[in-house]
């Protein structure tokens, strides 16, 4: 991938570290504690936390929180395993909370 041509992108609202490319945005229909959240095929410059098993509205998942690599702010989570077959498409995807990101052009 051409690293200079990746705009628009989303950056950490706190420190402007780029965390996801708009090209990898898959869905805006997710919900987090803070409100709306977006699902991306790929994220960058984030640190993945410890695996946790969570009961969410759509089923049980193994997830890991993701944090900004620069400022350490919690940005959302990634799906490691979906235990419901219908939710398998979420595996390996990243959820970023809208309240934590800024769109940059
Ligand atoms: Zn940050």
Please tell me the distance between residue 17's alpha carbon and the centre of ligand 1 in angstroms: 5
Query: Which CATH number does the domain housing residue 33 bear?
Result: 2.170.150.20
Whether the Cβ atoms of residue 78 and residue 94 lie closer than 8 Å to each other: yes
Q: The dihedral of CA 22, 42, 31, 34: what is its sign?
A: negative
Averaged pLDDT score across all residues of the chain: 94
Please tell me the distance between residue 72's alpha carbon and the centre of ligand 1 in angstroms: 6
41 occurs within a structural domain: yes
* DSSP β-ladder status, 101-104 and 94-97: unpaired
4 occurs within a structural domain: no
1 occurs within a structural domain: no
**Domain tally, the chain:** 1
Please tell me the distance between residue 102's alpha carbon and the centre of ligand 1 in angstroms: 11
Domain of residue 54, residue span: 9-104
Work out the percent of the chain whose per-residue pLDDT is above 90.
Answer: 88
| pLDDT of 5 over the 70 cut | no
Please tell me the distance between residue 15's alpha carbon and the centre of ligand 1 in angstroms: 4
3 occurs within a structural domain: no
70-92 residue pLDDT tens:
999 999 999 999 999 999 999 99
- What pLDDT is stored for residue 6 in this prediction? 79
Average pLDDT over residues 49-69: 96
Whether the Cβ atoms of residue 30 and residue 56 lie closer than 8 Å to each other: no
| pLDDT of 97 over the 70 cut | yes
| Number of continuous H segments (helices) and E segments (strands) in the chain | 0, 9
42 occurs within a structural domain: yes
């Amino acid at each position: 991938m051409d690293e200079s041509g990746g705009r628009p992108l989303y950056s950490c609202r706190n420190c402007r570290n780029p965390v996801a490319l708009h090209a990898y945005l898959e869905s805006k229909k997710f919900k987090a504690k803070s409100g709306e959240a977006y699902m991306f095929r790929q994220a960058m410059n984030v640190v993945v936390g410890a695996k946790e098993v969570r009961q969410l509205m759509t089923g049980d998942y193994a997830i890991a929180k993701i944090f900004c690599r620069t400022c350490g702010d919690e940005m959302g989570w990634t799906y490691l395993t979906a235990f419901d077959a219908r939710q398998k498409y979420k595996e390996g995807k990243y959820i970023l909370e809208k309240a934590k990101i800024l769109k940059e052009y």
